[in-house]
Structure 1
Amino acid sequence: MTSTERFSFSGPINYNVSDDTLGAAPLVEIPFVEGTEQASLEFNVGASTIALDSVPSTQLFKASTPNANVGLKLENTGDSLSPHLELTSVIKHNNNQQNKIQLALHASPLWNLIINMGASKFVADFSKHKIEYLEINAGAASLDMTFGMPQTQESILEINTAASNCTINIPKDAACKLEMESILTSKKFDGFHKKEDAQQTDNFDTAEKKYIIKITGAANSLKINRY
């Protein structure tokens, strides 16, 4: 998927899902098809606790919830080798203490992801995944994401939040540039130095593959750990 083909989200930051339960299920999944090199996912979720990691090799994507308060709807508008998935959560009662969703993605494809969430907690381990583009639009959220070495010339992580806490974990050898249009109440960027209007690691200009992190919003706390 090229940058001109990317889907994007222009709605409100605080995402609320429909209460239409028709077709919602506690478990949805898509099998992995050999030869799939790219995949995209748009995930629309209300206030929930969300965890993401990798999935067994027989499945491209899997999502589940352990309680009856949440249902999941999944559509695939792409083809077998270039799936374009849209996952929507249906929350029956406004009680985010019980709204838990587990996501898992196959590690082989190059992923383009958009996640639109309400006041949620999102813990994601992307360390085994190839991420070309990740966009998060969130309200008062708590984000903790771990990434491996970048797998593309520019792996873009775009985070649009309000009143949120965000922790990003990247390898100490990963080249990275941080662009901010955000009012930060607290920040910690060890290993970065300022260049023009951005913060970047010492190896950013010479690295063949790199992360570009874009932060927008207000009253955010941002921490970048290099492990």
Structure 2
Amino acid sequence: MMQMRATLGLIRSLAIYYNPWRVRQLRAFYAGLLPPGALAFDIGAHVGSRARAMRAAGARVVACEPQQPFAGFLRRSLPRDITLLQLAVGPSEAMAQMAVSSLHPTVSSLSTSFADEAAALPGFGHVRWDRSQQVQMTTMDRLIADHGLPDFVKIDVEGFELDVLSGLSQPLPMLSVEYLPAFGQRTLAVIDRLQDLGSYRFNPVTGEAGGFLWDDWRGPDAVRQWLTGLPPDAGSGDLYARLD
């Protein structure tokens, strides 16, 4: 039964993230963001749609995905020139426990409190974290030592973003983190961490929009004000940060 639920979760994610319209939109977006030959890290690669879009833009891609059955799917299906690592990324090189939702695997998380907090929030009432998986964790600093300084890093790890950045000791040219308005304090903490690393400016992409929300990149105070003004049930998106 558990294997069947995991397979259904994989099929559900494939249907969502390989929608032809979504694929074209992602490729166009990354083509405008990444110059050919850029090095990109995809942290939380899931079904690989972002990694493929980055590769289509001409980037060299390192994709990290620890969760099964997704890591196995990526190993079988990703182009061979994408470097796939079956690793989580966090504050240290260690083993860690992931809380897994078999039917809704996009919200599986290494955060020890994410599942408990989410269960009481709008939009998560139907989600059950029904199993755990032990995963190997590395750090951003180790990835950089092994593969080079990336031009761009996409981080989508369901409440574990600050932990990922805790394993990073230098500023990066550009990165993105998923934001969830119901977990606004976590994103505010991410902004604080980035400002500790360097002087960043920000621009959000809301939901599945094909471009940035703002015409300009704005400072941390502006993005904090915008985030705190979002209602908890507003949709998620990605917050992009560019080193100023």
Normalising by structure 1, what TM-score? 0.34
| Greater helix proportion | 2
